């Protein structure tokens, strides 16, 4: 950790090779371009593909959606976190405005099927219900939904995607901002194979397996309370091939340069069967 602090450059590189899930126009691309000045993006069809690209050294960084303010956590990401070794080096939040896109000549009354990613469908559940008996079909990505719709040439279908995808794939926007909540934000993380800690790191993420006995989670939480460490997020996911054991994921607010940070890690190690430090970083606003 101390080596990472001393050896990491002062700023993120301008044009690294970055893995994103989906196709051109995806929200992951928007998040990536918010973190890097001129990234070289490689697209992968699955989240597993992004993790694998980092693990195998194909790309230096990967961008992944972690949670949405309306639909909640992206569980697939947390499950893959258990499988791979990686570090979180930065995070960001972007406002997500979903648009109902259709091929030219299509009207609202023509739509019989809507395509999009399952998170987008959940974020627009109320709007989709208002369309009546319309078939809802999940696909790998919001941008992929727009691209597929354009390629199909169908005039009885639509896609929930971004306004940039309307321009990119030559689609009409039948209605904008159709998400159920106006303040619809998605948080993305940037991961790397190597631990990199950039100046100003004030957020830390860890994963822990706690003893399978009463009070173990309380013991871990009380230690954080005693140190005055704020918990931004607590998530639990079942461990594969285990007897109802869980991996706990923590997002914590504390400067890596403080004594509180060191005491926090010591207490976590004392109360955990296994502790995995995922990184310390800042969030790009």
Residue 195: how many other CB atoms lie within 10 Å: 19
Q: Give domain 2-95+184-192's CATH superfamily.
A: Periplasmic binding protein-like II (3.40.190.10)
Cα dihedral across residues 13, 8, 22, 252: positive or negative: negative
Nearest Cα to Cα of residue 106 among 206, 173, 176, 184: 173
Do residues 187 and 105 touch, judged by C-beta distance below 8 A?
Answer: no
Cα dihedral across residues 271, 275, 280, 285: positive or negative: negative
Q: Are domains 2-95+184-192 and 99-175 of this chain identical in fold?
A: yes
Q: Which of 106, 142, 186, 254 is catalytic?
A: 186
Show me where the domains of the chain are located: 2-95+184-192, 99-175, 203-284
Q: Which fold has domain 203-284?
A: Alpha-Beta Plaits (3.30.70)
DSSP string, 174-237: EES--SS-SS-EEEEEEEESS----TT--EEEEEEEPPSSTTHHHHHHHHHHHHTPEEEEEEEE
pLDDT digits (tens, 9 = 90+) for 92-129: 999 999 999 999 999 999 999 999 999 999 999 999 99
Mean pLDDT, consecutive 10-residue stretches, the chain (285 aa), reads 87 96 93 96 96 98 94 92 96 95 96 95 95 94 95 96 94 96 92 96 95 90 94 92 87 93 92 94 92
H/E element holding 200?
Answer: none
Q: At what angle do helices 27-35 and 142-152 cross, to 10 degrees?
A: 130
Q: Which parts of 39-131 are beta strand (E)?
A: 40-44, 61-68, 72-73, 87-95, 99-102, 113-116
pLDDT of residue 285: 82
HSE-CB of 254 using CA atoms within 13 angstroms: 24
What is the separation of C-alpha 212 from the centre of its chain, rounded to a whole number of angstroms?
Answer: 29
Do residues 96 and 185 touch, judged by C-beta distance below 8 A?
Answer: yes
pLDDT of residue 242: 78
Report helix, strand or coil for 72: strand
Whole-prediction pTM value? 0.90
pLDDT of residue 240: 84
What is the separation of C-alpha 175 from the centre of its chain, rounded to a whole number of angstroms?
Answer: 26
Do residues 87 and 8 touch, judged by C-beta distance below 8 A?
Answer: no
pLDDT of residue 228: 94
**Paired tokens of 65:** 């959606």
User: For 122, phi and psi rounded to 5 degrees?
Assistant: -70, -35
Known active-site residue 3: no
Q: Which of 188, 248, 250, 261 is catalytic?
A: 188
**Strand-strand pairing, 72-73 and 61-68:** antiparallel
Known active-site residue 188: yes
Q: The CATH number of 99-175 is which of 3.10.20.600, 3.20.20.80, 3.40.190.10, 3.40.50.450?
A: 3.40.190.10
Cβ burial, residue 202 (10 Å; 0-12/13-18/19+): middle
**Paired tokens of 113:** 């099927």
pLDDT of residue 191: 98
Q: State what percent of residues in the chain have pLDDT above 70.
A: 100
């Amino acid at each position: 950790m101390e080596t990472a602090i001393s050896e990491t450059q002062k700023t993120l590189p301008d044009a690294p090779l970055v893995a994103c899930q989906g196709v051109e126009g995806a929200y992951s691309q928007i998040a990536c371009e918010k973190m890097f000045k001129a990234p070289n993006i490689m697209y992968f069809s699955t989240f597993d593909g992004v993790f694998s690209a980092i693990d195998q050294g194909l790309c230096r960084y990967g961008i992944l959606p972690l949670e949405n303010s309306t639909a909640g956590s992206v569980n697939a990401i947390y499950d893959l976190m258990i499988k791979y070794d990686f570090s979180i080096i930065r995070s960001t939040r972007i406002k997500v405005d979903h648009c109902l896109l259709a091929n030219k000549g299509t009207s609202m009354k023509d739509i019989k099927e809507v395509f999009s990613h399952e998170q987008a469908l959940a974020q627009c559940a109320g709007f989709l219900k208002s369309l009546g008996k319309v078939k809802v079909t999940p696909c790998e990505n919001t941008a992929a939904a727009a691209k597929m719709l354009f390629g199909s040439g169908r005039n009885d279908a639509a896609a929930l995607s971004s306004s940039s995808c309307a321009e990119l794939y030559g689609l009409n926007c039948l209605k904008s901002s159709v998400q159920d909540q106006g303040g619809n934000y998605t948080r993305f993380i940037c991961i790397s194979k190597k631990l990199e800690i950039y100046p100003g790191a004030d957020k830390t993420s860890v994963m822990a397996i706690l003893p399978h006995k009463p009070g173990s989670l309380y013991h871990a939480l009380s230690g954080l309370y005693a140190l005055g460490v704020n918990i931004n997020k607590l998530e639990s996911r079942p461990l594969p091939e285990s007897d109802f054991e869980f991996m706990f994921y923590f997002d914590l607010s504390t400067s890596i340069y403080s004594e509180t940070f060191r005491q926090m890690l010591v207490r976590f190690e004392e109360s955990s069967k296994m502790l995995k430090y995922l990184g310390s970083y800042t969030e790009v606003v």
